[in-house]
Amino acid sequence: MSLIKSISGIRGTIGGRPGDGLSALDVVKFTAAYARFIRQGREGEVVKPKIVVGRDARLSGKMVESLVCGTLTAMGMDVVKIGLATTPTTEIAVTGEKADGGIIITASHNPRQWNALKLLNRNGEFLNDAEGKEVLRIAEAEDFSFAEVDELGRVMKNDTWNEKHIDAVLGLKLVDVEAIRKAGFRVAVDAVNSVGGIVIPQLLRALGVEEVIELNCEPNGKFAHTPEPIPENLGQIASLMKEGRADVGFVVDPDVDRLAIVMENGEMFVEEYTLVAVADYVLSNTPGASVSNLSSSRALRDVAAKHGCKYAAAAVGEVNVVTKMKEVGAVIGGEGNGGVIYPELHYGRDALVGVALFLTLLAKSGKKVSELKKDYPAYAIAKHKVELTPGLDVDKLLNQVKEIYASEEVTDIDGVKIDFPDSWVHLRKSNTEPIIRIYSEAHSGAEADALAVKVKGAVLKAAGK
Ligand code: MG
């Protein structure tokens, strides 16, 4: 059993005693705290606040949805229940419904026994650090009270948002349906039997793709493989591509905010390059700033430089990337884990936008996906960690590392990132275990590994080991 309460919501395995796993009582308590947070400062208003609720196709989705909707109405709020919906669809529905907030019931890429509540503000964006802390405080103190009988809210259904989302993507200026239609692509999709199984094939057909090969596109929550869209989980689509059956393969996670691309030869385009390719296309048409997080590939910075555009890095976490994007007026941004944020539509990672922009780029380039990949600077990321003695002052240790590399370009807005001329290394402490995660990037996997091992040695030496 696991229950993790953080500023980005509550996440846990279904079942168990209250407080041990994501039990029904925990769902109710956390939802009530969120409702109280949305209501704060608005007591006495005549109009009831309205919250959009969407869910991915997890086995526990309907059960959690009924708890969330029941709790919101018990807190005197109206609910727009949009049913099976992606995370970006729910985000768009919040502003589309002029709602006061939104809850997405999804544990993203976590396995089937998990579920979670992701909390949105009235702009359909994730709560920030301070807001998330306030929800946690209210939940902890049970600082809420339920509505009396005449004040109860009601639940309204609206299952048109998937379609509206697809229409909005088709309406984007940089999405060229005609070019995609003419290219006559054969496209394979693996949606891990979640909501992407409905929306991605639907989007592809609306984009003029006639041949769509659907893998794991039944939204029944029976995840056909571990849901995170990383190479070790994508053998099925890779072997289909190796047989030459499709020009491009798309893989999404259960809530469809991450997009991985598989090349026509069955090899990975590599998740880091989803954002890089989409940004290349966006910047070549609408030059402007771009943003990704500190742990994302440097290839984006290089592509931005090629277009004469500014690049800025943000702390890890979607909310941090979005904040930075607004600050610098970015035209494109996201995260290296296949998360594309295109503010022309909304400020949230959106695999539908990613698919449409990538297919437009591919159609206009006239290249194979593997040829397109060669246009981008080659980098590889390595992921290591250092296990430390429990109780050790990790912040102090990170400061020591910073001093060791003081002559390099050091960024400390989120752990310690050291940029070298041809590589970088990023150290972050875990909030749950006594470890430091070390991510590094260089022009080859072997060089990235060597760099991580070298820095790991420096950390251990500073820790007195
Ligand atoms: Mg996700």
**Spatial distance between the Cα atoms of 377 and 232, rounded to a whole number of angstroms:** 24
Query: Pick from 37, 25, 22: which is nearest to 105 by CA?
Result: 22
What local confidence, expressed as pLDDT, does residue 5 receive? Answer: 87
How many angstroms does the Cα of residue 200 sit away from the middle of ligand 1? 15
Question: What pTM did the predictor assign?
Answer: 0.96
Q: Is 194 a catalytic residue?
A: no
Catalytic hit among 108, 194, 292, 423: 108
pLDDT category of residue 306 using cuts at 50, 70 and 90: very high
End-to-end CA distance of the chain: 34
**What is the torsion angle, in degrees rounded to the nearest 10, for the CA atoms of residue 268, residue 271, residue 277 and residue 282?**
150
Read off the pLDDT of residues 79-122 as tens digits, 9 standing for 90 and up: 999 999 999 999 999 999 999 999 999 999 999 999 999 999 99
What local confidence, expressed as pLDDT, does residue 301 receive? Answer: 97
Read off the pLDDT of residues 116-157 as tens digits, 9 standing for 90 and up: 999 999 999 999 999 999 999 999 999 999 999 999 999 999
What local confidence, expressed as pLDDT, does residue 390 receive? Answer: 84
How many angstroms does the Cα of residue 384 sit away from the middle of ligand 1? 23
* Centroid of chain to Cα 287: 24
- Token pair belonging to 59: 């086995």
How many angstroms does the Cα of residue 462 sit away from the middle of ligand 1? 36
- The domains located in the chain, with CATH, are 3-159 (3.40.120.10), 165-373 (3.40.120.10), 380-462 (3.30.310.50)
How many angstroms does the Cα of residue 258 sit away from the middle of ligand 1? 6
List helix spans (H) across 118-271: 129-141, 161-170, 177-183, 196-206, 235-242
What local confidence, expressed as pLDDT, does residue 389 receive? Answer: 84
Strand arrangement, sheet containing 78-84? 3-6, 9-13, 114-120, 101-105, 50-55, 78-84, 155-157
Helix (H, G, I), strand (E, B), or coil: what is residue 374?
Answer: helix
How many angstroms does the Cα of residue 87 sit away from the middle of ligand 1? 7
- Whether the predicted pLDDT of 238 surpasses 80: yes
